[in-house]
Structure 1
Amino acid sequence: MATKTANVLARVEPDIKAKAEGIMAQLGVPASVVINMLYKQIIMTKSIPFSLSVSNSFQTLDEMNEEEFELMMQKGLTDAKAGNSRSAKSVFNDLRQEFAE
């Protein structure tokens, strides 16, 4: 005899869980139904049904026109001349610390 349900165990931040469950309660939809809906969408679309991307807060060179590139370079030169810069070692240390958290 096949089982009708299976358990899903997931760790969620307590405040996130409380906020989401509050919204689900207002909608009258239990968490198990939402999880089941998510799983069905994953099966139907063979993907996560929402965008998972890292947004770039900067433009790549390919996305810039010549004027935007010149402005960026001029700003960099102005900042460097004014002493508004950091060493590469300092930047990499900050990145390592950020990713370690």
Structure 2
Amino acid sequence: MASKSNMTLRIEPELKEQAAALFKSLGLDLSTATGIFYRQALRYHGLPFEIRADEEPNEVTYAAMEAAENGEDMYGPFNSVAEMMEAL
């Protein structure tokens, strides 16, 4: 049997409880599920799932992105926090 080492993860207690319940329903414990995640990451040479935003940017965000691409100065740079807060 291969030797194993310990790992410490910092995670929110509620998230840990929810994940533990899900994995238990699949017949897994947290350690086994974590090992599966690492094996899949190695197999895919990256995260084994797609990372993306849930929503499309709104019209204001698209306008700001277009202005930035065109080199338009939106509001800054600012010389102080007070100056930035005034612009907001």
Task: Identify the TM-score tier after normalising by the shorter chain.
Answer: 0.5 to 0.7
Q: Percent identity?
A: 21
What's the RMSD between the two structures over aligned residues? 2.3
Unaligned runs of 5+ in 1: 62-87, 91-101
Q: TM-score, normalised by structure 2?
A: 0.58
Q: TM-score, normalised by structure 1?
A: 0.52
**Structure of greater relative contact order (alpha carbons < 8 Å, 6+ residues apart):** 2
Unaligned runs of 5+ in 2: 64-85
Larger radius of gyration: 1
Matched residue pairs, number?
Answer: 63
Alpha-carbon distance in 2 for matches of 1:49, 1:89: 42
Judging by fraction of residues, say which structure has more helix.
1
Alignment correspondent of 2:58: 58
1:22 is aligned to 2:21: yes
Alpha-carbon distance in 2 for matches of 1:35, 1:89: 46
